[in-house]
Structure 1
């Protein structure tokens, strides 16, 4: 939506430029001059100029935004499938992309091992999820706290749901859904795509 507002501003800037150009009179003619000055430009050029600005505005304001939710998560695969992980490459991806300095990364990973509650916050979600999914047995019995949206898959029991977050490395096309299968008695009453913050204990099923 922010892009639509930018185009909206550019539209008015271009509009004023075109209006000023239309009324500009720099050419000096002798008496009896009959050639076309083309101040306003041809109708075709004007239509193309306006269309370039109007079309993005219309699509930005009128088309509904595509959100990353349960529908997209369903296309990314089953929650019960764990992909083989390469710990070194996965955990240090943020460092390689210059998103975090090495010392801060090491400090965050030390917190994962020592904190009484594993806080799955935005800035540490990728390396924490990578390490936990690589060696889940190591974290059995640990308390974890995470915010995510609800995804329910066919075959889930009434007390099961998947607390899900998307991880985007470069763009929406490579978005990966990272999920924890979650069990609690009130799961059946929670609607799909609802955002929740859940604190629980890590167990293996």
Structure 2
């Protein structure tokens, strides 16, 4: 292969590598990178941009040496194919995602992605029962175990204004799988209006769902996007969020089934801040939490529209 053709191959590689480096820089600069990866992964991606840039510079160096005929053949079979079609396919595998990233708008996942992945309305499903058959669906122990909410109430635990630590432990029994959620739920139970903060979104909803019977009648406030699916009524919708561990590929939608008199006026994927009372209902033959909304406000999407597991939860 001629020196100039070899030089062209090196330059094509350099252009693609420079493109990826600049694309990452642009995403980081605009914070749009949070549409694709969790904040804890951003630093690693930044370093990858530096790696792309360094390799691209080396490809330019090799391209210039090849152009001036200063590269000696090593007979180690690194020579590119002479087939235009094959080269187009190979370079296209790298150029296509770069072009798509540059041409398509950056946007967070919403109702369309939630419909495909399936909205999770029972956030405690991953920890409920946790290998302990003595725990029922509400997180309370059954026959022979710790007192249920009814017996605890009869024993004088029902008045939340004067609960001792011992009474709270009786009201929120736990095993090794649910201990952290139970202790967190005890703190939530003491609040008049339970906020669902960004940095504890998953843990807050999971704790409430796990001990749903104890929170019926409590006030809750949260922010999310509007999502609908069958067989919801005209007054029902979900206040939802996407939770991700690493990147948008592992995104999992979950939220709260909500009821609001003017729900029909809300556009899908619009963001709202809802305040209401926690109740229980049946949806798709499953018992689930429902938020009876009493106050609803339009909300601006947060800078990071996804929520993430809190690494310090339980520590």
For normalisation by structure 2, the TM-score amounts to: 0.45
**Unpaired runs of at least 5, structure 1:** 28-34, 36-40, 94-105
Aligned to 2:241: 165
Q: Tell me by how many angstroms 1:23 deviates.
A: 5.0
Equivalent in 148, 163, 184 of residue 260 of structure 2:
184
- 1:59 alignment partner, one of 100, 106, 110: 100
Give the distance between the partners of 2:211 and 2:107, measured in 1 at CA. Answer: 34
Contact 2:119 2:254 in 1 (8 A): no
2: CA distance between counterparts of 1:78 and 1:54?
A: 34
How does 1:1-205 map onto structure 2 within 5 Å? 5-6=23-24, 10=52, 13=57, 16-23=60-67, 44=82, 54-63=95-104, 67-77=108-118, 83=125, 85-86=128-129, 88-89=176-177, 111-205=187-281
> SS of 1:118's equivalent?
strand
The 1:184–1:7 alpha-carbon spacing in structure 2 relative to 1, beyond 3 Å, is closer
Following TM superposition, where does structure 1 have runs of at least 4 consecutive aligned residues deviating by more than 4 angstroms? 7-12, 23-27, 41-53, 63-66, 78-82, 90-93
Distance in 2 separating the partners of 1:91 and 1:186: 39
- TM-score, scaled relative to structure 1: 0.65
Number of matched residues? 181
Q: Which one has more relative contact order, counting CA pairs under 8 Å at least 6 apart?
A: 1
Query: Quick one: distance in 1 between partners of 2:186 and 2:65?
Result: 63
CA distance in 2, matches of 1:13, 1:86: 56
Describe the superposition over 1:182-201 as per-residue Cα deviations: whole angstroms up to 9, x where unpaired: 11122111111112121212
Distance (whole Å) between structure 2 residues aligned to residue 167 and residue 159 of structure 1: 25
Indicate the RMSD between aligned Cα atoms, in angstroms: 4.1
Question: For the structure 1 residues 66 and 110, does the alpha-carbon distance in structure 2 shift closer, same or farther, using more than 3 Å as the test?
Answer: same
Give 1:20 deviation, angstroms: 3.2
TM-fit CA distance, 1:4: 6.3
Q: Unaligned regions of 5+ residues in structure 2, if any?
A: 1-19, 27-48, 74-78, 131-175, 282-315
Alpha-carbon displacement from aligned partner over 1:7-54 (angstroms, at most 9, x marks no partner)? 897476466435433455658xxxxxxx9xxxxx87859967965763
